[in-house]
Amino acid sequence: MKQQKAIIFDSSTLISFSMNGVTEYLEKLRQVFNGKFIITFDVKGEVIDRPMQIKKFSLEALKLKQLLDKKIIEMPSSVGLNDKEVARRTDEILNMANSTYKDKNRNIHIIDSGEASCLAVSKMLNEKGFITVIAVDERTTRMLGEKPENLGKLLEKRLHVKINPNRNAYNFFKGFRFIRSAELVYVAYKKGLIDLKNGDVLDALLYAMKFKGCAISGDEIKEIKKLA
């Protein structure tokens, strides 16, 4: 039997799409994806429920709500996950992440519940045999999962304190896989899902994502363009 797939979306990636006014690309990507696009209860709160109450961002929130209403993005229950269990695993991950780095006086709290919930759902789905990736544009969660030692160095460098990492926690965060809005628009571009022409479309898409918060460097954008 073929393994089921899921992409779990963090708030930061959904925000990059909605603030650029290109949520329809997510819809098109979902149509060619043989799996589910998942958002968690905490992420929904950050990108839909709370901004719906703020005039400046209610349009972006409405666009994302429409994706939810059309089942382009779905809640964890759609893949058989229990909400209470997701909340429990989210707390577990949150506690672990926020005690991974310490200075001499305290634990440094690095992530919050939405980000932790994406890690929890990914882990839970992996346990059920799903192939998962997490779409996250902000870079702290990604660094924690991919190179926690680099995150420790970054904290040390920026905060000007000696960081004592809990290296046992590093193993806990191994195995997560991450993509960003940048890779998603690249796939959309390569699959011919973008109907823009007469210009450097890929460049425009990648920089649009960067300018709305996707943590991608100028060099990485150059590399992606070489692959196109």
Out of 109, 128, 175, 196, the only residue in the binding site for another protein (CB under 8 A) is: 109
Contact 69, 62 (CB under 8 A): no
Out of 73, 110, 120, 205, the only residue in the binding site for another protein (CB under 8 A) is: 110
Contact 143, 169 (CB under 8 A): no
SS3 of 1, please? coil
The window from 7-15, 81-89, 121-129, 167-175 that contacts another protein (CB under 8 A) reads 7-15
Task: Pick the closer one to another protein by CB: 29 or 124.
Answer: 29
Nearest Cα residue to 134 out of 70, 183, 94: 183
Total chain residues near another protein (CB under 8 A): 74
Binding mask 152-191 for another protein (x = CB under 8 A): -xxx-xxxxx---------------xxxx--xx-xx--xx
Out of 4, 27, 28, 35, the only residue in the binding site for another protein (CB under 8 A) is: 35
Q: Is 123 in the site for another protein (CB under 8 A)?
A: no
Rounded to the nearest 5°, which phi and psi values hold at 133?
-135, 155
Out of 23, 115, 124, 194, the only residue in the binding site for another protein (CB under 8 A) is: 115
Give whole-number Cα distances, 117 to 11, 65, 94, 147, 202, in Å: 11, 19, 8, 19, 31
Task: Pick the closer one to another protein by CB: 7 or 194.
Answer: 7
Give whole-number Cα distances, 198 to 21, 119, 190, 195, 202, in Å: 19, 39, 16, 10, 11
Provide the minimum distance between the beta carbon of 206 and another protein in the complex, in angstroms, as a whole number.
Answer: 11
Please, which residues have CB within 8 angstroms of residue 85's CB and are 6 or more apart in sequence? Answer: 124
Task: Pick the closer one to another protein by CB: 171 or 198.
Answer: 171
Handedness of CA 146, 147, 150, 152 (dihedral sign): positive
Out of 26, 48, 124, 143, the only residue in the binding site for another protein (CB under 8 A) is: 143
Task: Pick the closer one to another protein by CB: 75 or 138.
Answer: 138
Give, as ranges, the residues between 46 and 85 that touch another protein (CB under 8 A): 46-47, 50-51, 54, 56-57, 60
Chain-centre distance for alpha carbon 198: 31
The window from 74-82, 83-91, 122-130, 218-226 that contacts another protein (CB under 8 A) reads 218-226
Out of 8, 15, 26, 202, the only residue in the binding site for another protein (CB under 8 A) is: 15
Distance CA 56, CA 4 (A): 38
Q: Is 93 in the site for another protein (CB under 8 A)?
A: no
Nearest Cα residue to 6 out of 173, 177, 130: 130
